[in-house]
Amino acid sequence: MKLKPTRMANRLVGGAFVAALLTATSYSESLAQQPASSPDEPLVLDLDEVEWGPPGNSPRFPRGARTAQVGPDPDTGGPIYFANFPAGSHFDLHWHSHTEYVSVLSGELTIVLGEDSHALSIGSYIVIPARMNHSWDVPSGGEAAVILVRRRGPADFHFVDP
């Protein structure tokens, strides 16, 4: 099934809130950290005011990728976070133990889910089932891609060797 991208406003409206900053060097461990605030408190985010963590440079994670944690999923305890992938970046083929839900907030990227490739743009929504191999590519020469990720359980990354 091919995903058909839709368009939405380039900005999220609201005030700023950012909890823990993440680095790609300890990406999966950092995603397990939760901010001190309750997941049931009101929250309004402005994407233009998110304080991104430092750019990562770990092998297999996209060079220069940055993340900012939003908080835990109130139902599963899995992390909810923004990820910012620079233009020209690639995320190696991998899978997770829990389902991942992703919304594209800015930029364009391509995701390979299993054997199918899908072009994504602002407003695209993706469900990545647990244990499904997938990879990401952001075109060179364009803008960075920003996604909002919600996980159904703790974050883990299992890379698939070519």
Q: Does residue 32 lie in a domain region?
A: yes
Q: What is the CATH number of the domain that holds 73?
A: 2.60.120.10
Task: Give the total number of structural domains in the chain.
Answer: 1
Q: What is the mean pLDDT of the chain?
A: 80
Q: Does residue 5 lie in a domain region?
A: no
pLDDT of residue 111: 98
Q: Does residue 4 lie in a domain region?
A: no
Task: Report how far residue 3's alpha carbon sits from residue 117's, in angstroms, rounded to the nearest whole number.
Answer: 9
Q: Does residue 102 lie in a domain region?
A: yes
pLDDT tens for 48-92 read 999 999 998 888 899 999 999 999 988 899 999 999 999 999 999
Q: Does residue 146 lie in a domain region?
A: yes
Task: Report how far residue 116's alpha carbon sits from residue 109's, in angstroms, rounded to the nearest whole number.
Answer: 14
Q: What is the pTM of this model?
A: 0.76
Look at residue 33 and tell me whether its pLDDT is greater than 70.
no
